[in-house]
Structure 1
Amino acid sequence: MAITTCIFDAYGTLFDVTAAAREAASAPGCERLAGLWVRLAEDWRRKQLEYSWLRAITGAHADFWQVTQDGLDWALEAHGLQGDARLRARLLDLYRALSAYPEVPAMLAALKQAGKATAILSNGAPGMLASAVASAGIGGLLDDVLSVESAGVFKPHRSVYDLVGQRFGTAPGQVLFVSANGWDAAAGAGYGFVTAWVNRAGAPVDRMPWRPAHVLADLTGIPALAEAA
């Protein structure tokens, strides 16, 4: 079955989730953050994801902006920075305008030139996704931006993946689903998507019942993969 539609996770896949902490650490007067921003970014991301899973399991849904703030608050406290309201506000502002990975615009343009539909499917709340897409200047290369808020639960719940077929009228096998989260790529494979895991860190494959069909180091090979799949 030919691929007609390419669907991308947003955070960590198209947008660099470490960019907010990295940029904040480079500002004058942030010498303390400069020595620990990598660990802060890692803790922030880990708690952000953990809280999304816990909320999905318990049925205590809140949008991803709330989860993002909760994860940041935990990370700031873990590193002794919980009293720095100015830093917190700066990090959240930067998160709304995360940098896209360098290969993203050309990769999306190549998919559009090949006649593929393109979209984001993300845990992100609509407002934060709109800000990130606008900041990266990729809105004209996307046919839609789909948020889990339409399903009321976070990934990897199947109802989130259902949003793709509802929007594009595709069968799962017509969709190339791309994520930098191994668990997301695996769950997408279980759903029936053709999946590509963008494994920038060279991590082991997650031990789940399903595995991604493809593992890539970055996004540059996606257009060729979409044609060949």
Structure 2
Amino acid sequence: MNRKTKTIVFDVYGTLFDVHSVIEECETYFPQKGEVISKVWRQKQLEYSFLRGLMGNYHSFWSITKDALRYACKSEGVELSGSIEKSLLSAYLQLKPYPEVEEVLERLRGFQLAVFSNGSEDMLHPLIEHNRLQSHFSNLISVNGIKRFKPHPDSYLYALDQLGVERHEVLFLSSNTWDIAGAKTFGFQVAWVNRTGGAMDELGVEPHHVLQNLTELMDLRRNYV
């Protein structure tokens, strides 16, 4: 964050919301396999978005999320009935936010806050509304508007156009290293939310800031505001 920061933009999955809060629901239907199904589900969700981007064969993130779930169940040898699929997908629209999220958003009032996600509108709006966070954000931006998944530079340009600010006026936060690399290369200030103590990918890009959780964003705010 610098003195010119006008807009703080959050990635959604893994940054504001715990994608693995579906483990309990998975475990209900597939005992002793809930955790691995959740992990494969997330892995394939990302992989399919990257592959479809490379192939130029865009499908919405909601469609990709369904396909990734089907793969995860098939790979673990469990039967995914229509009713179970509906229930698990519904759980994805009700992911749990990380514990500090609501307090941090409340303390950031005065900034323009937005989310920018590969998630499609039919995922983002129900999720944000279910957790009663919509009043904090001026924009809920989905790449579905341009049909180019992050980290394609066109997706970040689309978000910038929606926000109406300059690149250097945006602080972008994500837990995903590929998203951090894409956003910084585009020209955003970036803060990597490294909740798991992981290593930054070797993409020739380092984040401006590294946070253990979103609470540490308040230290940046005190330094510059």
TM-score relative to the length of structure 2? 0.93
Q: Describe the superposition over 1:176-199 as per-residue Cα deviations: whole angstroms up to 9, x where unpaired.
A: 100010110111111111111111
* 1:213 paired residue among 193, 197, 208: 208
Superposition map of 1:108-127 within 5 A: 108-112=105-109, 115-127=110-122
1:88 aligns with 2:90: no
2:137 and 2:131 map into 1 onto residues whose CA distance is 12
2:191 and 2:103 map into 1 onto residues whose CA distance is 18
> Conserved in 2, the CA contact under 8 Å of 1:3 and 1:226?
no
> Conserved in 2, the CA contact under 8 Å of 1:24 and 1:90?
no
TM-score relative to the length of structure 1? 0.92
* 2:44 paired residue among 30, 33, 47: 47
Amino-acid identity (%): 35
1:11 aligns with 2:13: yes
Q: Describe the superposition over 1:146-201 as per-residue Cα deviations: whole angstroms up to 9, x where unpaired.
A: 00011111100111111232122211111110001011011111111111111111
* SS of the residue 1:221 aligns to: helix
Give the corresponding residue for 1:98: 95
Give the corresponding residue for 1:158: 153
* SS of the residue 1:44 aligns to: helix
Unaligned runs of 5+ in 1: none
> Conserved in 2, the CA contact under 8 Å of 1:176 and 1:195?
yes
Q: 1:146 to 1:126 in 2, by over 3 A?
A: same
**For this pair of structures, how many residues does the alignment match?**
222
1:88 and 1:21 map into 2 onto residues whose CA distance is 14
Superposition map of 1:188-207 within 5 A: 188-207=183-202
1:225 and 1:23 map into 2 onto residues whose CA distance is 37
* SS of the residue 1:215 aligns to: strand
Paired letter, 1:194: Q
* SS of the residue 1:146 aligns to: strand
> Conserved in 1, the CA contact under 8 Å of 2:26 and 2:35?
no
* SS of the residue 1:118 aligns to: strand
| Farther off after superposition, 207-216 or 55-64 | 207-216
> Conserved in 2, the CA contact under 8 Å of 1:52 and 1:67?
yes
2:37 and 2:68 map into 1 onto residues whose CA distance is 10
